[in-house]
Structure 1
Amino acid sequence: MHVHVESDGHGHLSLDQELMDASAAYFKGSDSRTPSVEDLAERYRGAGLAAVVFTVDATTATGHPAIPSEQIAEAAARHNDVLIPFGSVDPHQGRAAVDRARRLVEEHGVRGFKFHPSLQAFAPDDPAWAELWGTIEQLGVPALFHTGQNGIGAGLPGGRGIKLRYSNPLLLDDVAADFPNLTVILAHPSVPWQAEAISMATHKANVYIDLSGWRPKYFPPELVRAAGGLLRKKVMFGSDYPLITPERWLADFAELGIDEAHRPGIVKDTAAKVLGLAR
């Protein structure tokens, strides 16, 4: 449910080099840090996996032009056996973001949207974004939001100005409540706000959690208990590749002690339902 396109294949990266390097140092991974859509298709096809792919449009907050979601969607369409494209729009672009979101679904076939409130520098519960959330709700696709700790900017002075509070999952409770037909996905274990995320996913039928961005062996105990019990139909496999490989994530996940009968739902079935792919 969570794979990043970090390069357009022609040298343009999703983030500036300082942020890319800081993220790489934080996660200490071994795979290429700058996969293109084509790279991802080859890798995931070889692994026998499928992936939701996207970038983040944080143009206003960072001054760094994003990889166009239209380009990602077009490339993913050539590999639709293994890749499912999500779009990203910059909320600060106002009406242009709303109109672009509609075009991305209706003309380019994206199956959802990715937002990163801290990197994009916005509070999701601000009424200024209500039209955007309402449009995505009308389009019938999910919105996936980064929550919790940030690897981007980690270790840099002031975290490069990236504010963690925007990624408190509780800021999305208003969004989920005010737009009950919008599927809201909380990306990552929401450390240090794990209890809030679990509470939201328990309370609201339209809130889900993807389990990307942390190796499962480091999951907070309350998340492991919830994933194997009360929330077993509300959590979904995500790696955050290229920051964590799917193989490493799956190997860790197998050691969590979650009932084998519940694992297929977490690894595939719930995501297929959320994405409208279930048969």
Structure 2
Amino acid sequence: MNTMIIDAWAQHPTLRHLQDPIFDSLRRWTKGGIPTSEVPVAATIAMMDAGHVSKSLISAWVAPRNVMISNDEVAEFVKQAPDRLVGVGSVDISKPMAAVREIKRCINELGFKAIRVLPWLWEVPPTDRRFYPVYTACAELSVPFCTQIGHTGPLMPSEVGRPIYLDQVALDFPELVIVGGHIGYPWTEEAIAVATKHENVYIDTSAYTAKRYPPELIRFLHSHGKRKVLFGTNYPMLTAENALAGLDELALDEESKNLFLYENAKRVFKLD
């Protein structure tokens, strides 16, 4: 593949992340065992090389009862491969002022390029008041807010992943760049409607292989959505190689393919 690739949603996992029981329900799909020792950063880089990925945005995971991957751990991973890995921070929305301070630290001190919070971990929608200080901080710092849209793989309520919630967020924060990961399925048309309506709302394809993209997303990629969709894996759930299998069958022209795999993420996350 000649086109350069940026993975908009990945994790370099810690053992705490891999072993958290919240993901037990996913193992029946991935058929993956649970490692017993920490995964070296070299393993993530090798996965990227196999899938021809030049850069991966790797995220922290802050959950109510378990910081699965801390911001400082992400910073350490990035330090080991600074040309390949890009940090994405996360925060505890139940402590608004501490969250704002931590966002500023992530961006200004750790050099991260975005903040991600997953509504299903907190069991509240993105319109919940606890998210609003996070949006304000991200907008002020001009960094994207990344989140999950669509149903929830772990056995947690899916309703908070309805893409339509982002419509209200985008109305309240028109300056805020929002990236909704996991394509919004089974509400993909809802996700497309919100991304079409709002200049700063984007969709990423993490957690889905190219063979599983819904027809409406493929139509969007072929038409007015070619600047609105970013490639993602959700590694370690999916490797880049697996996620990209079947990409040629989408019959994207070179411009659309380059935007999807590289240029959109480079622009949205302000990557050099």
| Corresponding residue for residue 3 of structure 2 | none
| Corresponding residue for residue 62 of structure 2 | 57
Q: CA deviation at 1:195?
A: 1.2
Confirm whether residue 240 of structure 1 aligns to residue 234 of structure 2.
yes
The residue correspondences of 1:16-165 to structure 2 (distance < 5 A) are 16-28=19-31, 35=39, 37-45=41-49, 47-49=51-53, 50-58=55-63, 60=64, 63-152=65-154, 159=155, 162-165=156-159
Q: CA deviation at 1:229?
A: 1.0
Given residue 43 of structure 1, which amino acid in structure 2 is its aligned partner?
M
Confirm whether residue 213 of structure 1 aligns to residue 215 of structure 2.
no
Q: CA deviation at 1:99?
A: 1.1
* Distance of aligned partners of 1:29 and 1:270 in 2 relative to their CA distance in 1, 3 Å threshold: farther
Structure 2 stretches lacking a partner, 5+ long: 1-7
Q: Deviation string for 1:169-216 (max 9, x for gaps)?
A: 111111112111111001012112111100011111100111111112
Q: CA deviation at 1:112?
A: 0.3
> TM-score if structure 2 supplies the norm length?
0.89
1-side partners of 2:129 and 2:25: how far apart? 32
**Matched residue SS, 2:259:** helix
Q: CA deviation at 1:138?
A: 0.6
1-side partners of 2:40 and 2:115: how far apart? 18
Q: Deviation string for 1:193-250 (max 9, x for gaps)?
A: 1111000111111001111111121111111100121100110111111111111222
Structure 1 stretches lacking a partner, 5+ long: 153-158
The residue correspondences of 1:7-18 to structure 2 (distance < 5 A) are 7=14, 12-14=15-17, 16-18=19-21
Structure number with higher relative contact order (C-alpha < 8 Å, ≥ 6 residues apart): 2
Given residue 106 of structure 2, which amino acid in structure 1 is its aligned partner?
L
**Matched residue SS, 1:2:** strand
Q: CA deviation at 1:261?
A: 3.1
Confirm whether residue 172 of structure 1 aligns to residue 176 of structure 2.
no
2-side partners of 1:203 and 1:249: how far apart? 28
| Corresponding residue for residue 10 of structure 2 | 3
* Distance of aligned partners of 1:48 and 1:71 in 2 relative to their CA distance in 1, 3 Å threshold: same
Q: CA deviation at 1:4?
A: 1.6
**Matched residue SS, 1:254:** helix
Q: CA deviation at 1:43?
A: 3.1
Bigger share in strand: 2
Between 256-265 and 217-226, report the one with greater CA deviation: 256-265
Given residue 74 of structure 1, which amino acid in structure 2 is its aligned partner?
E
2-side partners of 1:32 and 1:197: how far apart? 35
Confirm whether residue 250 of structure 1 aligns to residue 244 of structure 2.
yes
Between 118-127 and 99-108, report the one with greater CA deviation: 118-127
> TM-score if structure 1 supplies the norm length?
0.87
Aligned-pair Cα RMSD in Å: 2.2
| Corresponding residue for residue 266 of structure 1 | 260
